[in-house]
Structure 1
Amino acid sequence: MMNIQMRKGWACCLISVALLSCTASDGVKPEAVKSKNVIMIIGDGMGPQQVGLLLSYARQAPHSVLADRTTALDRMMERGRLGISLTYTADTLVTDSAASATQLATGKFAGAEMLGLDKDGNPQENIIEKARRLGKATGLVSDTRITHATPAAFAAHQTHRSQENSIPEDLLATGADVMLSGGLSYWLPEQANDKNSALHQQLAQMTGNSIEIKSSRKDAKNLLTAAQQQGYALAFNKVQLQQATGKTLGLFADSGMANGIVETQNRKDAGHVQPTLKEMSMQALEILSRNEQGFFLMIESGQIDWAAHRNDTGLLLHEMLRFNDTLNAVLDWAENRQDTLIIVTADHETGGFGFSYSGVDIPKPHSLPGAAFAGGALFQPNFNFGDPSVLDKIYAQQLSYHDIFSQFDRLPKDRQTPLKLTELVNRYTEFKITEAQAVKILATEANPLYRAGHTSLGEKTVPKMEVNGEFFVYQKENRENLLAQAVAASQQVVWATGTHTSTPVFVFVTGREQVTQPFAKILHHTRLGQLAIDALH
């Protein structure tokens, strides 16, 4: 009898040990859900639709530049997990980048257009600040400008994203080890605008004449000097960046950096002056990984959003390819590492983009070799569902819509005609417009949304938006949205808006299984941000 009882006792012990072991492997133990390094890559405006454009191009374009037909996101899925995340703020349906990035950086609900504050306006510790408390290195990389909404949300505490003259001081106060982006004009004193001043000449020499020297400030603060006093080495071009080994502030454009089409063209020239997003990211990893305690790095592919605001499909594709190129390089760096969590997500979707079928250019009936058509029946779809060859034409765009209109606006007034716009569009894109379409693109009206002094709605005369004008609020750019409408049928593309949507966004994660498991759910960005914060140790 005693032997039976002893055997039962041992069985119970073994079961208990097994259960404890399972519990530990499920990630309950705190030490099991940590990572030495956390890399968060944000595709600004990169909803499922934008991801779909990249995947469609990779899989279907007859002459895709992705030779193996796979993307970096395919690599993420091979070894990681997928979740989705809702992006709304504390009291709105739709978010802006500042509030959304704040929620990712702090794990707390924010109000619209706030930076680093909770919904009530209280400053909150962000993931950069926590990482520094833990002795880790930290970095911010963006192809927009370092004072723009997304990178600023990971460092600044401001009531509104527009306070870009105050944000550099917040960035310096946060003390991130590496900050690489554009936005030099917000760091220079007002006096730098005097081209005859010694300061202007000194700055031109410092930058190697690689950046236009101008200031967006209204004071005498030279924040480059302040950065140097805090131990930052300064970099203004690719060569200077490659020489950086420690604490580095890299500012590579007066405002936003080169767009994806320009970067694609620049990459063909090994001597290009401005570093690419991939090159900035790799140098940041090189510097940050020297810290034995680990690091946190945020990389923003920010101009996906800018392309989508303007409904510029060709530019959007190049921005997605820039994102893909950068992510592939990060995955190469992290190959076979067990100490690094990589999170890829978006702050929101922009534009309501999508390919769609139409009633224009319906294919003619034709025969097919299959047995069902052997009796002479013809294959005759009711609509034009889109030929994949359109993807090659989208990629072939040589100038962004913004740059096309910049060229147009630099012409003498008497040459700013519908015919000239037609010539420019037809020269730089594969989707031709007529002079009659150009007339509509250039048509104007009294601003129906006019608000005196408003940064976006303050123009009394604006391009005439015949449909959904209320959702195209960046009115100075609306000619670009009108151009998108003119070529929509030939591109097989529709755009719903010039602003953001509430579409949930993807969350791709790779790392140790115990770390990535909690991300494979329906999340909100506050929870996603908290998971990233909790992953640090």
Structure 2
Amino acid sequence: MAGCALDGQQNTETVAESGKVKNVIMMIGDGMGPQQVGLLRTYAHRAPNSIYEGRPTGIDRLIEAGVLGVSSTGPHDKIVVDSACSATQLATGEPALSEVIGVGTEGEYLETILERAQKMGKATGLVSDTRLTHATPAAFAAHQPHRNLENEIAVDMIRIGPDVMFSGGLRHFVPKSVNDKGATYEAIRELNDGAFTFSSKRKDEVNLLTEAQTAGYQLAFTREQMDKVQDGKVLGLFANSGMMDGIDYAATKDAGDRSEPTLKEMTMKALDILSQDEDGFFLMVEGGQIDWAGHENDVGAMLHDMVKFDEAIEAVYEWVAQRNDTLMIVTADHETGSFGFSYSMKDVPEPQKLPAPGFGDEHDYQPMFNFADLSLLDRIYAQTRSNKNIWGDFESLPADQQTAKKLAELMSKHHAFEVTEAMAATVLKTSPNRFQKAGHSYLASKTWPAVDTPFESFYVYGEETRWNLMGHALAEDQYVVWGTGTHTDTPVLVMTFGPEAATAPFSKFLTHPEVGQLAKDALK
């Protein structure tokens, strides 16, 4: 790219050839491998009733105008990466170990790009649709030996102090006594206007909301409260744990009474606030629930979360395109689910008569297998509830109603695919846990969901595997294959947009520490 576009024209006043930029925006699609990008683009451009209606996706526009590279995601000493390690590598430009947050291979605290930006006098921000203390945002503003230390991560984040923090995860910022529904609970409920229920995961009486206020933060718990913030430091916590998934987002984004902001709304508000700093800013934005849907092997939910993230990407792209001082980086921490569409022997097509000379009277058109009709894309997008939430509805029923027949009814209600009682019965099967490990948060149980596949050992999350089995029950009719309930080492895309000198180094096969280092170098 020769330079950023300004109102459709090439901007000739580009940043110095050194590649230095004033602002860096890093957008991370958690779990967004090339397969997930392909799912979005196939739906957008080929579904008969695509909501894109012939328009390019935000990712399309970004790739067309910018620079495309590829990156290996692996950790320092292993093959497959988790989100904490990968985000640490992107945040610090250094190799990292599995499941660590902002810590190096020798146990040292690593300077993140956010901390470097702070030292340079720049504003900083974090936005995610998961929890603020979840692995990806945590890696930019915390230093802990394990990603599960979310209470300690929350303390780090207030101490390190990004100017803008928007996400879910209130449960790690409020004292344990809120679980007693006493005075502290009532005070916080008044603050959040009763917009969502909350509880605490803390083991102490530390109230990080009051500590944040002492540190100069304004607090926001609803979209309306966020909109009122015009400048300064702000901590926005819009859900007790994760925020709305892509399906709920699609159903509520146009509702006038919606209290939870969308990923796009949080992102643009962060840009409004951070861009007031004359020294520039660093902003990380995570589309985190692509990964959750991939873990659950839920293709409809994954497509919806790709659409949600793409909307935020397009808004940021349009913002950056009006400037000549900003580097935009869009990548993923890893791929999740080993997802893909596949052809099969189900419903092999009947012969069709097609014109000569290619066919004619002597030769019919008849593929040997079913290569999946494009109408499937619309049916997949038509899903109205994630499998995880359908299972939650099922578990809330009285015990005598938790039958295969009832599960089939619930699944059929929210999917554009018929689910039979026999299909649902496969979700309810249980088998001995041959990987049992006493004291392990997921593997301690003697029995768990029966995964009827050679890849059983890659479905690691205990009873949550029921969600995967729901996806597997649908997979044959969706022409979808899944290889795992965890991550793969598939290289991911790195899409950059901005001044040519800053984007050019990304146009090759990189590693994630190299991507992180290039991002840090751009702020020098």
The interval holding the TM-score normalised by the smaller chain is over 0.9
In 2: Cα distance, 1:30 partner to 1:108 partner: 26
Matched, 1:469 2:453: no
Deviations for 1:341-394, whole angstroms, at most 9, x for unmatched residues?
000000000000000000101111111134322335210000000101000000
Describe the SS at the equivalent of 1:372: coil
The unaligned stretches of length 5 or more in structure 2 are 1-13
Which residue of the partner structure matches residue 498 of structure 1?
485
Identify which of 519, 527, 536 aligns with 2:506.
519
Counterpart residue identity of residue 367, structure 1: K
Identify which of 325, 329, 342 aligns with 2:311.
325
Describe the SS at the equivalent of 1:98: helix
Q: Contact 2:172/2:200 (CA < 8 Å) preserved in 1?
A: yes
Matched, 1:46 2:32: yes
In 2: Cα distance, 1:287 partner to 1:68 partner: 33
Q: Find the structure with the greater CA-based Rg.
A: 1
Identify which of 290, 295, 299 aligns with 2:276.
290
In 1: Cα distance, 2:217 partner to 2:355 partner: 68
In 2: Cα distance, 1:523 partner to 1:213 partner: 42
Matched, 1:425 2:411: yes
Counterpart residue identity of residue 192, structure 1: V
**Offset at residue 490 of structure 1 (A):** 0.8
Identify which of 490, 497, 501 aligns with 1:510.
497
Q: Contact 1:128/1:174 (CA < 8 Å) preserved in 2?
A: no
Tell me the number of residue pairs that the alignment of Structure 1 and Structure 2 aligns: 510
Deviations for 1:283-324, whole angstroms, at most 9, x for unmatched residues?
000000000010000000000000000000000000000011
In 2: Cα distance, 1:296 partner to 1:31 partner: 20
Which residue of the partner structure matches residue 412 of structure 1?
398
Q: Contact 2:320/2:498 (CA < 8 Å) preserved in 1?
A: no
Which residue of the partner structure matches residue 189 of structure 1?
175
- The structure that is helix-richer by fraction is 1
After the TM superposition, which residues 57-456 of structure 1 pair with which residues of structure 2 at under 5 Å, given as runs? 57-195=43-181, 197-245=182-230, 246-456=232-442
In 1: Cα distance, 2:452 partner to 2:411 partner: 21
Counterpart residue identity of residue 244, structure 1: V
The unaligned stretches of length 5 or more in structure 1 are 1-26
Q: Contact 2:26/2:329 (CA < 8 Å) preserved in 1?
A: yes
CA change 1:239–1:370 in 2 (3 A) is farther
CA change 1:475–1:370 in 2 (3 A) is farther
**Offset at residue 334 of structure 1 (A):** 1.6
Q: Identity rate of aligned residues, in percent?
A: 52
Counterpart residue identity of residue 450, structure 1: Q
Counterpart residue identity of residue 198, structure 1: A
Describe the SS at the equivalent of 1:220: coil
Which residue of the partner structure matches residue 468 of structure 2?
481
Which sits farther off after the overlay, 167-176 or 34-43? 167-176
The CA RMSD over aligned residues, in Å, is 1.4
Q: Contact 1:84/1:521 (CA < 8 Å) preserved in 2?
A: yes
Which sits farther off after the overlay, 78-87 or 331-340? 331-340
In 2: Cα distance, 1:370 partner to 1:82 partner: 42
In 2: Cα distance, 1:171 partner to 1:332 partner: 30
**Offset at residue 424 of structure 1 (A):** 0.3
In 1: Cα distance, 2:178 partner to 2:470 partner: 37
In 2: Cα distance, 1:521 partner to 1:446 partner: 47
In 2: Cα distance, 1:370 partner to 1:510 partner: 48
**Offset at residue 461 of structure 1 (A):** 2.1
Q: Contact 1:101/1:153 (CA < 8 Å) preserved in 2?
A: yes
Counterpart residue identity of residue 38, structure 1: V
Q: Contact 1:55/1:71 (CA < 8 Å) preserved in 2?
A: yes
Describe the SS at the equivalent of 2:124: strand
**Offset at residue 459 of structure 1 (A):** 2.2
